[in-house]
Each structure stands twice: as C-alpha cells, then as structure tokens.
Chains A and B, each alone.
Chain A
C-alpha cells in the first residue's frame, strides 16, 4: 500500500489569503491527484499533478486559483489562492499505486 501524509490537517484562513497544502507519499508514484470534498458531499477531482510537466485541470478549476507543484515522484503541493468562503472544503491528495487509489486524510479548510 501507499501511505500519504497531508499537511496541514486543518486551517482557518482569512478571505483573500492563500494556503498551500502539502502531500507526501512513501512510494514513488507517477500520478498524484487533488480532490475537493465540500461538507457532507462527494469528491470532485480538481487536477492531476504530473511530475515534470504542468498539472492537468478539470473543468471548472483553473491554475490561477489552484496552482499545483510536483517537484518529484513523492511530493506535491496544492495552493488555494485568494480564498473566499466558498473555498471552505476538505482537500484530499490521492495517488494510484499498483492500480489502487490511496487518499490522504484531507485538509479541512475554513475561510472566514
């Protein structure tokens, strides 16, 4: 299995500021994914973080709002920029390791 460590686990941020979420995995993986889970709702894919190339964003998500870094095969960051209360969600990192998806415990973000 793959073990994912995500930091921070939660944060309360002022509107207009930015927060960077870190995702560290204990194995080298080709693709890492970032999902958003709004309170009590399902998971929505934000983007695929590719090592050595730009992230690929899903419809409704843009790089200026959610810049992603992927400096190596075990680490990625997601930044939530210029935050508004609508960005309050749980953000989850995921990797596919030997065909199975593993998820971090999530970052619970509250924007006030």
Chain B
C-alpha cells in the first residue's frame, strides 16, 4: 500500500519567516495530495490540496508544489504568524479525492515572536 513520509517532525520559525514541510510518497499511482492543519483538540482541517496534473498551487501565504517524478510534494508557508502554530499533516490518495487518505507522520510547527 501507499506510504507517506514527512519531514521535519518539528519546525520552529520566527514570525515573518517562511516554513517548508516536505513529504514523499511511495505509490506512483497516487493522484491527490492534501495538506491539513490540526489544532489541539480538533480534527484536521484542509488548508490546500493539489492533484497530480498540477505542479504548483498557491493560496495567499500558502503554496504546495508537486514533483511526480521524484514522488514528493512540499508545503510552503510565507510570512508566518503565531496562529500558524499547529501540527501539519500531508496525505496522499489513489482515489483522486479525499477518500481513503494515507497520512504523513505530521510536523509540529511553532512560530515564535
């Protein structure tokens, strides 16, 4: 089955700096790659996603890039703010949608003042 690795496990940045989180996946047939933000005591919430026919997608301060050849995708957060502090998960799916997701191991992002 699919396996998703995520790095780093923890990341501390100063407010205003950029944060980059990287994931690799094993199954070349995976075609949907969402990123989720999970705050304490809450379920994951989608922040951005990308499909395999797209190389990059941006939404304000958040961007995701996908390299299908290398089977990796990355989350980029610019101009980080304290409210960006949370655990971030990447995921992959073979279904083309958010069905049956395989999650990465998570990155705890801390944005310091």
- What count of chain B residues pass the 8 Å CB interface test? 20
Identify the B interface with A (CB < 8 A): 1, 34, 41-46, 49, 89, 97-106
Q: Does A92 contact B (CB under 8 A)?
A: yes
A31 vs chain B, min Cβ distance (A): 6
B99 near A33: Cβ-Cβ < 8 Å? yes
Is the Cβ of B103 less than 8 Å from the Cβ of A101? no
Interface string of A32-51 (1 = CB under 8 A from B): 01000000011111001000
Q: B residues within 8 A CB of A103?
A: 43-45
Q: Is the CB of B99 within 8 A of A44?
A: no
Contact A33 B1 (CB under 8 A): no
Most buried by A among B1, B42, B97, B99: B99
The tally of CB-CB contacts under 8 A between chains A and B is 53
Question: Which chain A residues have a beta carbon within 8 Å of chain B's beta carbons?
Answer: 4, 31, 33, 41-45, 48, 59, 92, 94, 96, 99-106
The dominant DSSP class at the A interface is strand
Q: CB distance A106 to B43 under 8 Å? A: yes
Alpha-carbon separation in the docked complex, A105 to B45 (Å): 10
Q: A96-B98, A101-B98 are in contact. Are A44 and B43 (CB under 8 A)?
A: no
A31 to B106, CA, bound (A): 25
CA distance A99 to B102 in the complex (A): 16
Q: Which residues of A contact B100 (CB under 8 A)?
A: 33, 45, 48
Residues of B within 8 A of A96 (CB): 97-99
Nearest CB on B from A108, distance (A): 8
* Cβ A100 vs Cβ B46 within 8 A: yes
Cβ–Cβ < 8 Å partners of A43 in chain B: 44, 89, 101, 103
Taking CB atoms, residues of chain A closer than 8 Å to B106 are 41-42
Known: A41-B106, A101-B101. A59 touches B1 (CB 8 A): yes
